[in-house]
Structure 1
Amino acid sequence: MTSPAQNPSNLDSALAHLADVVDQRRDEFKAGDADPKTSYTALLFSKGDDGILKKIGEEATEAVMAAKDARNSNLAPEQQKLLVGEMADLWFHCLIALSQFGLRPEDVVAELNRRLGTSGIEEKAARKAANKE
């Protein structure tokens, strides 16, 4: 697929742009200006929290299955393409969920940045301790 040198340096701005479109479609749906019969994004928003979250579960399962197939095929180009496509579907549906709950990809990027340099094991233990309080 692509090498790091070929990736856009503004990945977060690409996600932000897509999130802007999703938020716009959400607002149009809420205003009655987006028809779930003609807009997939409006259809997702029409299903509410549970429908959106169920779709994320479905997409996550498809991504896992594509990864398993890619592993078994030693990442043949067609399997790489399928895996990337499934991950794109998952990310898109996660953007829908973020929008549904009034959040943005920037919030996720900020949390990832906060965790940089922290052991994953230590970070998980800190979250567990905070949840017990």
Structure 2
Amino acid sequence: MGHVIEDLTAVIEARKAQPPAGSYTAQLFAKGENEMLKKMGEEMVEVIVAAKGETTERVVYELADVVYHTLVFLSARGLSWATIEDELQRRFGH
């Protein structure tokens, strides 16, 4: 995933540590895990809807939302994208 995931994770962590007024990310942290899970579910539904009848660009847009919400959830759990990469390596032996 490269630097984009690392950069986005750094922004998410900063929003968690010092929530700026008006930050959507800070709002997700304030609302808690249930709201994060709700948003993840909504975004997955949007991916499915896009995949069934919209453009490839729309699918990519919605998948980016899924990744963002996943990163916020991982941060809330004290995990990182590296945790996911480690699991994928374990599964696929690379």
Pairwise same-fold verdict (TM > 0.5): yes
Which has the larger helix fraction?
2
Q: Which residue of 1 aligns with 2:27?
A: 43
Q: How high is the sequence identity, in percent, across the aligned residues?
A: 39
- Structure having the higher Rg: 1
Partner residue in 2 for 1:126 = none
- Letter in structure 1 aligned against 2:3: S
In 2, the alpha carbon distance for the partners of 1:86 and 1:23 equals 22
Residue of structure 1 equivalent to 2:46: 62
Query: Whole-Å Cα distance in 1 between the matches of residues 33 and 80 of structure 2?
Result: 16
Once residues 82 and 10 of structure 2 are traced to their aligned partners in structure 1, the CA distance between those partners, rounded to angstroms, is 11
Query: RMSD of aligned C-alpha atoms?
Result: 1.2
TM-fit CA distance, 1:44: 1.0
In structure 2, relative to structure 1, the CA distance for the partners of 1:110 and 1:12 (3 Å cut) is farther
Structure 1: where are the runs of 5+ without partners?
A: 1-10, 71-78, 118-133
Give the TM-score normalised by the residue count of structure 1. Answer: 0.66
Deviation of 1:14 after TM superposition, in Å, equals 2.2
TM-superposition CA deviations, 1:3-46 (whole Å, max 9, x none): xxxxxxxx2432122111111111112xxxx22xx111111111
Whether the 8 Å contact between 1:16 and 1:104 is mirrored in structure 2 is no
1:108 matched to 2:84: yes
CA contact (8 A) 1:22 1:41 kept: yes
| Large movers: runs of 4+ above 6 Å | none
Aligned residues of 1:12 and 1:109 also touching (Cα < 8 A): no
